[in-house]
């Protein structure tokens, strides 16, 4: 089977089939899906080496991830990567995984190993986005950057965290406090801002990045009279819940309440009753890949804000009965 056979079978032009395969040029989304589905059903694989040579493209995308040790505790990045890979494979594109550092990204771009870059985390004072903008290589950020010209896909973390905090403070009685990771993470700053929007000047303890620092931050908050703990992410919440259950905190779990600003399969397996904000990391990765491929093809692409879901899970600690998840 060749491109002409596919075109004849679907009643479209060879150019349409070519655009569906390469991602170059304008083509209706339904038509592209129809062509790719037909090719998949008939096990037709285009000659990607010939495509790369003819278009001077590598057929590779770079996907940045945190350092290996940190990645182990971050299901979010793994799910994003899986989503990006699932989208890339539809057009015979490969994903090259690189560390989320300025030097590693510059290395693969300068050596012309990739056609585009998916940045999975935006750091405060990072020069990476400036470099990518100046280099001219197409890229998309999974996250938010308040700078013109940076293509990005994200959720409204500030709004989500503010809403969950506000809902819980209407149902829980006590003093709120937040456990946050690193101030260098833009998403951490957004979540902290959302918490403060609803909780006012309630204390925030930064630097909760592992079990030891989570326990220390929790004990500091308890010293401030905090009994309502809002965890910035699933890792922090998992460490807190595990420390409560094993008695390392020396606190009766019934005396405090815990919520997480990010859910994951790891957290759900450990403590399914904790109220959470749910976002679809797989969709984030897939959409980011789709957007950077469209940018490579020269198509106009706009920033995307995806929906989030607030899941109260177990409604027993609340005075209200509206415990069902809400979408935004």
What's the CA gap between 210 and 70, in Å, rounded? 10
| pLDDT 10s digits, 128-156 | 888 888 888 999 999 998 888 899 999 99
* Distance of alpha carbon 24 from alpha carbon 204, whole angstroms: 48
Are residues 163 and 262 both part of a single domain?
Answer: yes
Rounded CA separation 310/328 (Å): 8
User: To the nearest whole number, what is the mean pLDDT of the chain?
Assistant: 85
| Residue-level pLDDT at 69 | 55
Task: Using a pLDDT cut of 70, give the percent of the chain over it.
Answer: 89
Task: Kindly provide the b/e burial profile for residues 309-321, where b requires at least 16 CB atoms within 10 angstroms of the residue's own CB.
Answer: bbbbbeeeebeee
Query: 84 and 29, same structural domain?
Result: no
pTM score, whole prediction: 0.77
296 exposed, middle or buried (CB, 10 Å; 0-12, 13-18, 19+)? buried
The pLDDT of 300-326, averaged and rounded, is 66
pLDDT of the residue at 156: 96
Is position 305 within any domain? no
Q: Report the distance separating Cα 62 and Cα 149, nearest Å.
A: 19
Reported as a single tens digit per residue, the pLDDT across 80-121 is 999 999 999 988 899 999 998 888 999 999 888 899 999 998
Range 33-40, long-range pairs (CB < 8 A, 24+ positions): 34/10, 35/6, 35/10, 36/90, 36/91, 38/6, 38/9, 38/10, 39/6
The answer, yes or no, to whether residue 298 has pLDDT greater than 90, is no
118 and 182 share one domain: no
What is the predicted pLDDT for the residue at 310?
94
Length of the chain: 328
Q: What is the mean pLDDT of residues 15-28?
A: 74
User: For the domain that residue 62 is a member of, what is the CATH number?
Assistant: 3.40.50.2300
Asked if 162 and 262 sit in the same domain, the reply is yes
What SS3 state is found at 91? Answer: helix
Helices (DSSP H) in the chain: which residue ranges? 3-10, 14-22, 29-41, 48-55, 68-71, 75-88, 102-110, 128-135, 157-171, 186-199, 211-223, 234-246, 265-270, 281-296
**201 has a pLDDT exceeding 50:** yes
Q: What's the count of helices (H) and strands (E) in the chain, helices before strands?
A: 14, 13
**Between 237 and 26, residue with greater pLDDT:** 237
pLDDT in tens, 230-259: 999 999 999 999 999 888 888 888 889 999
pLDDT at residue number 110? 87
Q: Is the pLDDT of residue 55 over 90?
A: no
- Between 316 and 129, residue with greater pLDDT: 129
Q: How many angstroms separate the first and last alpha carbons of the chain?
A: 45
Decide if pLDDT at 309 tops 90: yes
Averaged pLDDT for residues 304-327? 61
Confidence of residue 195 (pLDDT cuts 50, 70, 90): very high
Q: Are residues 235 and 267 in the same domain?
A: yes
Domain, as residue range, for 120: 56-155+281-297
**Residues 179 and 323 both lie in one domain:** yes
The number of folded domains in the chain is: 3
Asked if residue 171 and residue 320 are part of one domain, the reply reads yes
Same domain as 62, residue 20 = no
Computed on alpha carbons and rounded to an integer, the radius of gyration of the chain in Å comes to: 23
Half-sphere CA count of 125, side-chain side, radius 13 A: 2
pLDDT score at 52: 47
DSSP designation for 97: E
Q: Is residue 302 part of a domain?
A: no
Q: Does some domain include residue 315?
A: yes
Note whether 206 and 180 are within 8 A (CB): yes
pLDDT at 220 over 90: yes
Whole-angstrom Cα distance, residue 24 to residue 297?
Answer: 4
b/e map of 155-165 (b: 16 or more CB within 10 Å)? bbbbbbbbbbb
Are both 317 and 196 inside the same structural domain? yes
Q: Is residue 303 part of a domain?
A: no
pLDDT in the model for residue 300:
87
- The reported pLDDT for the residue numbered 82 is 94
């Amino acid at each position: 089977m060749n491109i002409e056979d596919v075109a004849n079978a679907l009643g479209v032009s060879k150019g349409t089939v070519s655009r569906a395969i390469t991602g170059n040029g304008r083509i209706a989304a339904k038509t592209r899906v129809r062509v790719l589905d037909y090719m998949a059903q008939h096990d037709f694989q285009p000659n990607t080496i010939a495509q790369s040579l003819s278009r001077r493209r590598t057929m590779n995308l770079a996907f940045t991830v945190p350092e290996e040790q940190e990645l182990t505790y971050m299901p979010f990045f793994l799910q994003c990567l899986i989503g990006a890979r699932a989208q890339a494979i539809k057009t015979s594109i490969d994903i090259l995984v690189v560390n989320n550092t300025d030097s590693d990204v510059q290395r693969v771009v300068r050596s012309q190993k990739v056609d585009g870059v998916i940045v999975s985390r935006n750091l405060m004072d990072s020069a990476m986005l400036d470099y990518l903008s100046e280099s001219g290589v197409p890229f998309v950020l999974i996250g938010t950057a308040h700078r013109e010209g940076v293509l990005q896909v994200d959720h409204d973390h500030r709004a989500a965290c503010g809403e969950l905090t506000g809902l819980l403070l209407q149902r829980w009685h006590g003093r709120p406090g937040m456990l946050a990771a690193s101030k260098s993470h833009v998403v951490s700053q957004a979540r902290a801002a959302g918490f403060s929007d609803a909780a006012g000047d309630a204390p925030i303890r930064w630097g909760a990045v592992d079990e030891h620092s989570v326990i220390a931050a929790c004990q500091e908050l308890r010293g401030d009279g905090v009994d309502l703990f809002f965890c910035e992410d699933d890792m922090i919440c998992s460490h807190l819940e595990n420390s409560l259950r094993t008695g390392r905190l020396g606190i009766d779990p019934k005396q405090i309440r815990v919520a997480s600003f990010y859910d994951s399969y790891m957290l759900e397996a450990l403590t399914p009753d904790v109220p959470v904000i749910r976002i679809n990391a797989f969709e984030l990765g897939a959409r980011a890949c789709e957007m950077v491929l469209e940018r490579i093809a020269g198509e106009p692409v706009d920033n995307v804000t995806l929906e989030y879901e607030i899941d109260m899970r177990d409604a027993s600690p609340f005075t209200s009965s509206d415990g069902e998840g809400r979408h935004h």
